[in-house]
């Protein structure tokens, strides 16, 4: 009899915590209060998307009672908008906004609640949802949709803030990772992220975010994550672990973040209960931390503009004497920047020079693509031909005056000996582009523009290449199949810096991706070079501009390394 009684008692004790799990209740800030002015909510339809052509969707706009047309209002966007705007479901955002704006713990904020797109039903079929593609993809498509279509449309009627500090974005599940992606891709546009049970799992690559955060430059965004131990665990991944791993990565990189972790499941119960607390935390006026947690980047340092207004910049080169050179390929010129920052034309008609590099003897070597020549320039900018017949793209010089250069269109790497003998030393790389030598001159690295690898070679005494392997694997920008790898630099620790679509990717001497440095502007990044009196300034050519950045690293070139 005792045994029979123990079984129900044991089941009762086991059931007690299960009944308590996910039993979250909405607090007073999620309820209507007397004396609190109500905002208005209007429903709209969007049927003319260029970013997601063919889709249609509903969206709602909440305007607080305190809004004044002559004062720009903050903006907060919610994915799965119907769930957030409803006063009958877990979040009740209009109610919470009314209460928090009234007690001045968040600014006057216009809410934009957007449903995912769908393709309308045809005869005999149901609508097709575009939700996963829009929300789970790691790309800039959705944030472009907001910035190019929805927010400008709302802005026709209301005065909206455009600064990142005045714009937030949130969502649940796939809408949560979508919110993070929007701010990750455009931190200049959205400075605050709210994610409820976010799908940072392998649906469309979201599981990579924790690694990307650790290896990328810290971005100026504030992130609030909510999840629970009862969240999903399926073939895409484990939601609780994924959110905890992302939170650990954010902590490591010094982000202003919170992870509120409970015992709830994949729903909005916990998220709705903590929503007022989350909004107060997100909208507080504290300054964002500026830590970079990097052994390359310096605290407080940012990109500085060297020059602008060019057509297409390339070939940064430092002469070791206080002067910096770069090519404007589009204008067919080479420019010189002196120690005072004055910019002058060094070569007026450069004949398509792109890649540039100084040799150990102080001569400036270049690929003169227009005339299919490899040349050197003297101090007055006069060229001397070393070899001809091939349109070189980028160039690197050996210690004894030999030259390697890439033939971008034909997939070849060429070598020109100090005696002027020219021969092919490698074929088969998908559009070989930039190239660099390790400081000892015995390892050559060649960038693969149309793929995702940097190829390493051992250099023979006669210039021959051996031991070819895809030693470095680059991150690809979401939605691209090509890295866009171009010019490269190397530091005294044999770390390779390569300009790519995803930014400056830095690899250690074992070929492991170590860090990704953000581009100074959202444009094509063509090349990178170390310079400055201490070889600690990183120069980049980025479309129409040239920038510099002081770092902890020290560049290693033929001019910076003592000659043996």
Which one, of 351, 354, 378, 381, lies nearest residue 366 by Cα?
Answer: 354
Interval 284-338: pLDDT, tens:
998 877 778 899 999 989 999 999 999 999 999 999 999 999 999 999 999 999 9
> In the structure encoding, which two tokens stand for residue 541, read together?
């050519």
What pLDDT is attached to residue 123?
A: 72
What pLDDT is attached to residue 370?
A: 86
Burial zone of 16 (CB within 10 Å; 0-12 exposed, 13-18 middle, 19+ buried): exposed
Q: What CA–CA distance (Å, rounded) separates 205 from 36? A: 43
Calculate Rg over the CA atoms of the chain: 28
Instruction: Name 129's Cβ contacts closer than 8 Å, sequence gap at least 6.
Output: 116, 117, 118
Q: At what angle do helices 269-282 and 93-102 cross, to 10 degrees?
A: 30
Burial zone of 107 (CB within 10 Å; 0-12 exposed, 13-18 middle, 19+ buried): middle
Cα-Cα-Cα-Cα dihedral sign, residues 67, 73, 74, 76: positive
**CATH top-level class of 304-550:** mainly beta
Interval 420-474: pLDDT, tens:
999 999 999 999 999 999 999 999 999 999 999 999 999 999 999 999 999 999 9
Q: What CA–CA distance (Å, rounded) separates 38 from 35? A: 9
Low-confidence stretches of the chain (pLDDT beneath 50): 1-19, 564
Q: For residue 195, which phi and psi values (nearest 5 degrees)? A: -125, 120
Q: What CA–CA distance (Å, rounded) separates 415 from 395? A: 10
Q: What CA–CA distance (Å, rounded) separates 171 from 114? A: 10
CB 295: neighbour CB atoms within 10 A?
A: 13
Q: What CA–CA distance (Å, rounded) separates 140 from 501? A: 13
What pLDDT is attached to residue 562?
A: 61
Fold of 39-121+128-282: Rossmann fold (3.40.50)
Cα-Cα-Cα-Cα dihedral sign, residues 531, 316, 362, 418: positive
Burial zone of 128 (CB within 10 Å; 0-12 exposed, 13-18 middle, 19+ buried): middle
The structural domains of the chain, with segments of one domain joined by +, span: 39-121+128-282, 304-550
Interval 492-518: pLDDT, tens:
999 999 999 999 999 999 999 999 999
Instruction: Name 13's Cβ contacts closer than 8 Å, sequence gap at least 6.
Output: none
Beta bridge partners of 56: 118
What pLDDT is attached to residue 443?
A: 96
Which one, of 510, 496, 507, 498, lies nearest residue 555 by Cα?
Answer: 496
Q: What is the 3-state secondary structure (H, E, C) of 383-403?
A: EEEEEECCCCCCEEECCCCCE
Burial zone of 109 (CB within 10 Å; 0-12 exposed, 13-18 middle, 19+ buried): buried
Beta bridge partners of 407: 412
Q: What CA–CA distance (Å, rounded) separates 422 from 408? A: 17
> Where do the DSSP E strands lie in 229-342?
233-234, 237-238, 256-262, 304-308, 313-318, 324-328, 333-337
Q: What CA–CA distance (Å, rounded) separates 150 from 112? A: 9
């Amino acid at each position: 009899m005792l045994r029979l009684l123990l079984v129900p008692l044991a089941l009762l004790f086991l059931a007690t915590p299960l009944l308590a799990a996910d039993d979250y209740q909405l607090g007073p800030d999620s309820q209507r209060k007397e004396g609190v002015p109500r905002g208005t909510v209007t429903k709209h339809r969007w049927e003319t998307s260029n970013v997601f052509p063919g889709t249609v969707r509903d969206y709602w706009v909440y305007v607080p009672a305190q809004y004044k047309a002559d004062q720009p209002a903050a903006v907060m966007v919610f994915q799965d908008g119907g769930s957030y705007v409803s006063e009958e479901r877990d979040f009740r955002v209009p109610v919470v906004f009314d209460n928090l704006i009234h007690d001045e713990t968040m600014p006057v904020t216009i809410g934009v609640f957007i449903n995912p797109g769908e393709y309308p039903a045809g005869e005999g079929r149901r609508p097709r949802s575009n939700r996963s593609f829009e929300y789970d993809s790691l790309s800039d498509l959705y944030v472009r949709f907001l910035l190019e279509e929805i927010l400008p449309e709302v802005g026709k009627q209301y005065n909206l803030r455009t600064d990142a500090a005045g714009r937030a974005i949130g969502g649940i599940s796939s809408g949560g990772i979508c919110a993070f992606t929007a701010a990750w891709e455009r931190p200049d546009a959205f400075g605050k992220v709210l994610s409820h049970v976010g799908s940072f799992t392998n649906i469309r690559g979201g599981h990579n975010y924790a690694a990307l955060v650790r290896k990328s430059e810290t971005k100026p965004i504030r992130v609030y994550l909510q999840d629970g131990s009862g969240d999903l665990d399926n073939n895409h991944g484990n939601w609780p672990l994924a959110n905890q791993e992302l939170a650990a990565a954010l902590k490591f990189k010094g982000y202003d973040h919170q992870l509120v972790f409970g015992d709830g499941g994949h729903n909005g119960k916990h998220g709705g209960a903590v929503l007022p607390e989350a909004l107060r935390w997100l909208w507080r006026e504290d300054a964002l931390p500026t830590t970079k947690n990097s052994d390359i980047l310096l605290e407080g340092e940012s990109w500085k503009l060297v020059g602008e207004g060019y057509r297409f910049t390339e070939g940064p080169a430092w002469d070791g004497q206080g002067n910096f050179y770069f090519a404007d390929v589009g204008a067919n010129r080479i420019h010189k920047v002196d120690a005072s920052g004055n910019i002058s034309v060094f070569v007026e008609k450069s004949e398509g020079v792109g890649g540039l590099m100084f040799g150990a003897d102080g001569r400036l070597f270049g690929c003169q693509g227009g005339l299919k020549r490899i040349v050197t320039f003297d101090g007055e900018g006069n060229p001397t031909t070393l070899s001809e017949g091939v349109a070189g793209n980028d160039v690197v010089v050996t210690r004894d005056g030999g030259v390697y250069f890439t033939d971008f269109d034909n997939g070849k790497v060429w070598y020109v000996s100090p005696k002027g003998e020219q021969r092919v030393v490698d074929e088969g790389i998908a559009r070989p582009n930039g190239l660099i030598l390790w400081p000892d001159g015995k390892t050559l690295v060649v960038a693969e523009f149309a793929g995702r690898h940097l190829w390493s070679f051992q250099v023979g005494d006669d210039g021959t290449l051996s031991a070819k392997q895809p030693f470095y694997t680059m991150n690809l920008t979401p939605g691209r199949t090509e890295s866009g790898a171009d010019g490269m630099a190397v530091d005294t620790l044999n770390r390779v810096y390569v300009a790519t679509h995803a930014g400056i990717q830095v690899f250690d001497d074992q070929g492991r991706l170590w860090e990704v440095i953000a581009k100074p502007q959202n444009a094509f990044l063509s090349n990178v070079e170390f310079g400055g009196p201490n070889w600690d300034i990183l120069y980049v050519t980025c479309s129409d501009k040239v920038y510099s950045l002081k770092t902890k690293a020290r560049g290693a070139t033929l001019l910076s390394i003592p000659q043996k």
